[in-house]
Structure 1
Amino acid sequence: MISYISSVTTKSVPRLSAKVTLPVVKSYLPNYALWGGAWLFGVATFTEGWPLFQETFYKNLPVFGKHWAPELDPEDLPN
């Protein structure tokens, strides 16, 4: 025979802040690091051609900053 549910049963969900402990945060750190790195890579990809970002951030990078510093030949410079 078919049994029907006469009313919707619900559970009360405990507050999130009560369940946030150090082991829980440690377990999520690899995910946050991966997604944070992907987010930074995406921002760097889409802002690489913007002069404001080049002057402010990219030219000040220790190793790769030379990529954004233009090196013009002396004959190409205006007098």
Structure 2
Amino acid sequence: MVSYVRGPSYKSVKAFNKISALRAYSPFLAVWGAAAGIAVLTFGEHVPLIRNTFLRHIPVVGDHYVYNPDPEDIPV
């Protein structure tokens, strides 16, 4: 037969506070934050503010983002 409980059964959770929850989710938040930052820089590559502020200052590939047109292409 089924044994019924007279009242609610309460259980305490030992490690359920803000610090342990943050510690548990921090690897996921770091990975998703890095992916979001890379996506913003990738899709905002043609925006002059992003290009001049962030992308030009990358040590190895920063010269790729410097705008240096030919003199023939500049209107007089």
TM-score grouping bracket, smaller chain normalisation: 0.5 to 0.7
Q: Sequence identity, in percent?
A: 39
Q: Counterparts in 2 of 1:53-72, with a 5 A limit?
A: 53-72=50-69
Is the Cα–Cα contact under 8 Å of residues 41 and 50 in structure 2 kept in the other structure? no
TM-score normalised by length of structure 1: 0.58
User: Aligned pair in 2 of structure 1 residues 13, 53: CA closer, same or farther (>3 Å)?
Assistant: same
TM-score normalised by length of structure 2: 0.60
d(CA) in 2 for partners of 1:18, 1:46: 34
Q: Any unmatched runs of 5+ in structure 1?
A: none
Corresponding residue to 1:46 among 37, 43, 48 = 43
| Aligned residue pair count | 74
Equivalent residue, structure 1, for 2:3: 3
Taking CA–CA contacts closer than 8 Å with sequence separation of 6 or more, which of the two structures ends up with the larger relative contact order? 2
| Two-structure CA RMSD over aligned residues (Å) | 3.2
d(CA) in 1 for partners of 2:11, 2:72: 77
User: Aligned pair in 2 of structure 1 residues 78, 50: CA closer, same or farther (>3 Å)?
Assistant: same
